[in-house]
A and B are shown apart, each in its own frame.
Chain A
Amino acid sequence: MSDHHTSSQASAQSSAVPSSRRRFLKDAAGVAGGAGLLALGAGLYARQASALPATAIRPPGALAEADFLAACVRCGLCVRDCPYDTLKLARLGDGVATGTPYFEARKIACEMCDDIPCVAACPTGALDHGLKEIGKAKMGLAVLIDQENCLNFLGLRCDVCYRVCPVIDKAITLERIHNPRSDRHAMLLPTVHSEYCTGCGKCEKSCVLPGEAAIKVLPIKLAQGSKAEHYLRGWEEKKAAGESLIGKQVELPVRGLEGKAYGDTRVAPGEGPAAGEGAVPDYKPPFRPGGVDSGWKP
């Protein structure tokens, strides 16, 4: 009711002389609108630019990207205390949030200093001081991304990424598998284990390929799938329980494969029901030109 009264009074006044209040409101609205637009523009740009390029790696101990962008004041103290000039501050146009620290593994990788000086230098907590052991850092995750050009996948013994890994034999192992191309050799495939990989990037840095590396450190979000929690891994459950969860199974003999481990049904020429005692009269082993135990010899 009182609203009615005052507003009618105000309009009566303003019709007589241009009300200073009205002018103020008009000016204020204009100014607020302009400033709002500017801030909105900056905000939108910030949001768009907050998508970190995949090759830009944050220093060790960096908070998750969204929290990091709230915590980092872009002072560069981490950059200054990095003894290997690995870290740099993003410049406008670099594609990384302006002024925030990052490194590119292919250029200079993280040397994983024991005392983690970059983390100690951070005044705001954008780099978490709770990180005391560099081995627990998760800057990213190495992925052997190009299996077509990786020399080890071609059957050679390059092994450089494995050799330079500061967490050798844990973060990267060489997994031996049969080389079906030559059929006589092994391939030793560099294999990254996310549990131990710190994302330091030394593997990517030292990959011998001329331009792009075959192994790359990526943000964990890009490098790793989500764990399917509803699938239980039988071997893990068995190990945790100390025995199979379904109890000991009755092992029935398989005719012709008596000498083999239970469940191993691979048959080489001369084995199986086609040969020996109890052979099936008309059985011919299937033609297998290559692969494991093909029996082919030059």
Chain B
Amino acid sequence: MSAQGTVGEGGRKLPPTSVRGAARRGVAARPGREAIAAKGWLRAHKWLLLRRLSQLGILALFLAGPWFGLWIVKGNLSSSLTLGVLPLTDPFLLAQQLAAGHWPYREALLGGGIVLAFYLLFGGRLFCSWVCPVNMVTDAAAWLRRRVGLKGGKVPAGSTRYWLLGFVLVAAAATGSLAWEWVNPVSMLHRALIFGFGLAWGIVGGIFLYDLLIAPRGWCGHLCPQGAFYGLLGRVTLVRVSADRRSACNDCMDCFAVCPEPQVIRPALKGVGQDHPLILDGDCTSCGRCVDVCGKDVFRITTRFNRSES
């Protein structure tokens, strides 16, 4: 470890050219150090803090009722009613429901439409990084993995989640029920936080250990069919991250180290297969962590129509 550390010090002067190289040089263990030095701690954690605020705030809205009798939002992420008027329904659940052969009431369809429109506008996998409670679990696993210096692992192909999404819908059609919802860790964790856990701890702990010990970013980045569903929306979504100051990039690799979907950065940052600096890949969760950790302010959040570069 100490030998790697000294190499790491050297690695600062000679920028590594790959994630693996960065990890070898010990840079990836604490990505964002340059950004903190350049921008200060608060600005280097701006989007992360906002994101945690959003995740915990949404959870707090749901918990205010059962805990304090303050009924702002009833239900859970699968379907909810806000202030007694605003219905919201997870379109992923509606898709399963339609596959299972049930045509829902207007309330659910309306709620699903509102949610669908929101994510089409602001980023499909915005759900994953700003709303989903599992994100905090897998982020914790990724953080611990970096800190402890666990390397490698057996990661399933990134396309597995799309296959799984297909099979989830096929399973719904074949069994005539929402089969995935028996085990879906995303809806289960959120429901468990609000309505009680039972054995759901086991599934959450399993995902944490899987991400920590077996597959880095394994669940959210490779398996979760709900993330895949929102990723499909993300392909046409309006709000996107742009590497518009990519000319200032010093190849420190910090953004690759923190990005939950590092493969989406390269085309935009390095101009591989595209000439504009926009990250248009649906897998991008718009978490904004790359904006935070970049000491050179390469990234910013903009719209998919803004292809300008500065």
Contact = CB atoms under 8 A, between A and B. Distances in A.
A73 B89 CA distance: 9
Given A71-B97, A73-B108, A124-B108, A49 B78 contact: no
A94 B182 contact: no
A98 B182 CA distance: 5
Interface stretch (A27-35, A197-205, A232-240, A270-278): A27-35
B100 interface: yes
B198 A76 contact: no
Contacts, number: 177
Contacts of A110: none
Contact of B177 (A31, A35, A39, A69): A69
A155 interface: no
Interface stretch (B42-50, B118-126, B185-193, B249-257): B185-193
Nearest to A129: B105
A70 B81 contact: no
Given A38-B164, A75-B79, A92-B199, A45 B178 contact: no
Contact of B156 (A34, A49, A123): A34
Interface in A121-150: 121-125, 129
Contacts of B171: 39-40, 42-43, 46
B79 A125 contact: no
A45 B177 CA distance: 12
B284 interface: no
Nearest to A81: B74
B9 interface: no
B41 interface: no
Interface string A85-102: 000111111100111000
B125 to A, nearest CB: 19
A66 interface: yes
Main secondary structure of the interface of B (DSSP, over half): helix
Contacts of A92: 188, 192, 197-200, 202-203
Interface residues of A, number: 48
Given A73-B178, A76-B75, A125 B160 contact: no
Contacts of B179: 39, 42-43, 46-47
A28, A31, A75: residue with the most chain B Cβ atoms closer than 10 Å: A75
Nearest to A36: B167
A123 B104 CA distance: 8
Contacts of A122: 105
B157, B163, B168, B182: residue with the most chain A Cβ atoms closer than 10 Å: B182
A123 B176 contact: no
Given A39-B164, A92-B202, A123-B79, A71 B104 contact: yes
A74 B78 contact: yes
A50 interface: yes
B176 A99 contact: no
B75 A77 contact: yes
B105 A69 contact: no
Contacts of B75: 75-77, 80
B143 interface: no
Given A72-B178, A89-B195, A92-B200, A77 B105 contact: no
A67 interface: yes
Contacts of A123: 79, 81, 87, 89, 104-105, 107-108, 111
A102 to B, nearest CB: 12
B167, B177, B178: residue with the most chain A Cβ atoms closer than 10 Å: B177
Given A46-B182, A77-B79, A89-B191, A124 B104 contact: yes
B97 A73 contact: yes
Contacts of B157: 27, 30-31
A73 B93 contact: yes
B80 interface: yes
B182 A49 contact: yes
Interface string A46-67: 1101100000000000000011
A79 B195 contact: yes
Contact of A93 (B78, B176, B199): B199
B301 interface: no
B188 A98 contact: yes
Contact of A70 (B168, B176, B191, B192): B176
Contacts of A40: 167, 171
Contacts of B172: 70
A68 B94 CA distance: 14
Nearest to B94: A73
Interface string B290-305: 0000000000000000
B15 interface: no
Nearest to A77: B75
B108 A34 contact: no
Interface in B184-241: 187-188, 191-192, 194-200, 202-203, 223
A20 to B, nearest CB: 15
Nearest to B203: A92
Given A39-B170, A77-B81, A125-B102, A91 B199 contact: yes
Nearest 6 interchain pairs by C-beta: A91-B198, A39-B167, A75-B79, A69-B177, A93-B199, A35-B163
Given A70-B178, A90-B198, 15 more contacts: A38-B167, A47-B175, A70-B102, A70-B172, A73-B97, A73-B181, A76-B76, A80-B75, A92-B192, A123-B81, A123-B105, A123-B108, A124-B105, A124-B108, A129-B105
17 contacts: A34-B160, A38-B164, A45-B183, A46-B171, A67-B102, A70-B177, A71-B102, A73-B178, A81-B74, A89-B195, A92-B192, A92-B203, A94-B198, A99-B78, A123-B89, A123-B104, A124-B79
